Chain A
């Protein structure tokens, strides 16, 4: 047992004033917090040429910067009192995670004079979250792990939206550290796994609401969405909605893809929960219904060339990140256990075949997925494993993929060669 008491068990005695009596309080108690009144983070000013707006925003950043420096300089016990009991700090962290510009927010521009300060705040928010996610800072400074999990959860220091935001803001550059941090949060508080399940259902609701906005109706919030009779209706929605609404749909799709793919990259164990809740089938159906319509309507809309180009890139970003999300789950839940020949290998082979068979009707999704992650490569992995693999089923899937590709796929433009196409159809057709 450690010679030092954990923070949650420590007490502090206040010296008696003349005539008074001594008082003892837990070290983790609201009476130890300082009145800092952290200010919340607001999104970048709408008009970076408006001096008044920029100056006010810059002043806000200055307060945030000073306050976060102060917070990170606090000793362990004072830091934790502030973190647990100061609601203005909760609001600051929450608003930063929500409204800070993402690296893929191409339309957000920070006023030049604020960039260095914003960078410093970006770093300090990460360090604050890292410190919060660390239950043991040194042998002397720690919190009992089970109590730590309760503190995180009961005070909403982290919740699923915040974890998603953290991954989307920090994953590409600080992945390994973030993985440890998020992993520790889930380890110390398994209730977050239940929250993740709930969140998956919410994401499916969001899929349906996007389809509705695009004029593609879903049967019920939790079932596979179905296209409306007559695709002209859906096309007309996406073509006739305002440019802002259309842009929002595109940005939303990109944000969903980037958020999910980055989260699962940081926390691969989450893939199992997504898979268990039938997310792959819902994702492929959603993609199959929404993305082609969005692409098709972009071609029909009359927009400025620069805007059109930007939206085309965002759609591409949405597609590749949604495909990546699907791939992350397939790799983690099916292919990795097979490659590593784990005990669950046979079950994973079956799971892989069932999953792939279940999405074959989503042919435009299948085509794009095939283009990014050819089925043949995965089939090779399966056939190389020692257990019996039903080659007829593999062939059936391969054939279906080939048909989908022949219908919706395209060959890439020839590069240097004189024959047609760089990539041929999977079935070898010209």
Chain B
């Protein structure tokens, strides 16, 4: 958009305050690319690490045979792959598997709430994959003690409206702006006398 003339822009330019001029499109796009890369990398690192921890914990605590546990966890990642897409990288699939484990852990059957949440994150997905994933999670759950704590993606839960983190400013009253419109009425010196000569 064309930059509107602003007095603060002029003050910055004339008084040598720090700060660059508007990013041009190329710089802006570059910045966005770097940010995307950083976010993806962080998510994959965090969630990939959570998946490894989850697998390790289940292997240690499960009352089932190791081969069965391995096969079941493999099935869960296959369901996750069906949901996120066949050509998706492994770290993203593992991150989806963590998410599915988290979301199906407290329930026995896939409901509307879960379907909506999964669709919001991964887009359209085959319902059979979600049903299968829910069954798998329940099978894994049956091998574990009820009170056992498993690593999971708690950040996502917070994002789904269950957060209890304090945020500065949440309790401070803030009023949003409304656009101002000046009434159309001529001010005093705008009359037909405007061009009258001084005497």
Residues of chain A touching chain B, judged by Cβ–Cβ distance below 8 Å, are 35, 37, 39-40, 42-46, 56, 59-60, 63, 69, 72-73, 79, 91, 94-95, 97-99, 103-108, 119, 122-124, 126-127, 130-131, 156, 159-162, 164-165, 168-170, 172-174, 177, 198-199, 202-203, 205-206, 209, 244, 248, 251-252, 255-256, 259-260, 292, 295-296, 299, 309, 312-313, 316-317, 319-320, 363-364, 367-368, 370-372, 405, 407-410
Flag if B5 contacts A255 (CB, 8 Å).
Answer: yes
- B65 contacts A by Cβ under 8 Å: no
Question: What residues on A are CB-neighbors of B179 within 8 Å?
Answer: 103-104, 106
Query: Taking CB as reference atom, which chain A residue is nearest B159?
Result: A66
Q: Is the interface of A mostly helix, strand, loop or mixed?
A: helix
- B66 contacts A by Cβ under 8 Å: no
Question: What residues on A are CB-neighbors of B195 within 8 Å?
Answer: 296
| Shortest distance from the beta carbon of B189 to any chain A beta carbon, whole Å | 4
A sample of 24 cross-chain residue pairs with beta-carbon separation below 8 angstroms, ordered by A number, consists of: A37-B35, A42-B22, A43-B1, A73-B165, A94-B19, A98-B12, A98-B19, A119-B176, A126-B174, A127-B172, A160-B17, A161-B17, A173-B177, A205-B14, A209-B10, A248-B5, A252-B5, A316-B185, A371-B187, A407-B193, A407-B196, A408-B188, A409-B188, A410-B192
Task: Scan residues 6-33 of chain B and give those whose CB is less than 8 A from a CB of chain A.
Answer: 6-12, 14-15, 17-20, 22-23, 28-29, 31-32
Given A130-B169, A320-B182, also A46-B187 (CB < 8 A): no
| Shortest distance from the beta carbon of A56 to any chain B beta carbon, whole Å | 7
Given A43-B1, A295-B190, A410-B189, also A259-B35 (CB < 8 A): no
Question: What residues on A are CB-neighbors of B184 within 8 Å?
Answer: 309, 312-313, 316
Question: What residues on A are CB-neighbors of B177 within 8 Å?
Answer: 103, 122, 169-170, 172-173
Given A98-B8, A174-B174, also A103-B1 (CB < 8 A): no
Flag if B191 contacts A259 (CB, 8 Å).
Answer: no
Question: What residues on A are CB-neighbors of B166 within 8 Å?
Answer: 73
Q: 9 tightest A-B contacts by CB?
A: A127-B169, A410-B191, A371-B188, A173-B175, A252-B5, A161-B8, A103-B177, A46-B1, A72-B168
Given A127-B174, A206-B10, also A199-B15 (CB < 8 A): yes
Question: What residues on B are CB-neighbors of A122 within 8 Å?
Answer: 176-177
Question: What residues on B are CB-neighbors of A40 within 8 Å?
Answer: 23, 28, 31
Given A295-B190, A409-B188, also A255-B169 (CB < 8 A): no
Query: Taking CB as reference atom, which chain B residue is nearest A131?
Result: B168
Flag if B167 contacts A73 (CB, 8 Å).
Answer: yes
Flag if B199 contacts A407 (CB, 8 Å).
Answer: yes
Measured between alpha carbons, how far is A410 from B9 in the docked complex, in Å? Answer: 36
Question: What residues on B are CB-neighbors of A72 within 8 Å?
Answer: 167-169
Measured between alpha carbons, how far is A378 from B199 in the docked complex, in Å? Answer: 27
Given A202-B15, A363-B198, also A410-B4 (CB < 8 A): no
| Shortest distance from the beta carbon of A308 to any chain B beta carbon, whole Å | 11
Measured between alpha carbons, how far is A368 from B9 in the docked complex, in Å? Answer: 28
Flag if A164 contacts B11 (CB, 8 Å).
Answer: yes
- B71 contacts A by Cβ under 8 Å: no
Query: Taking CB as reference atom, which chain A residue is nearest B5?
Result: A252
| Shortest distance from the beta carbon of A262 to any chain B beta carbon, whole Å | 11
Flag if A292 contacts B194 (CB, 8 Å).
Answer: yes
Query: Taking CB as reference atom, which chain B residue is nearest A76?
Result: B168
Given A292-B189, A313-B184, A410-B193, also A165-B8 (CB < 8 A): yes
Question: What residues on B are CB-neighbors of A209 within 8 Å?
Answer: 10
Flag if A295 contacts B14 (CB, 8 Å).
Answer: no
- B2 contacts A by Cβ under 8 Å: yes
Of B175, B194, B196, the residue contacting A295 (CB under 8 A) is B194
| Shortest distance from the beta carbon of A48 to any chain B beta carbon, whole Å | 10
Of A44, A126, A130, A206, the residue contacting B1 (CB under 8 A) is A44
Flag if A124 contacts B169 (CB, 8 Å).
Answer: yes
Of B11, B38, B173, the residue contacting A35 (CB under 8 A) is B38
Question: What residues on B are CB-neighbors of A405 within 8 Å?
Answer: 188
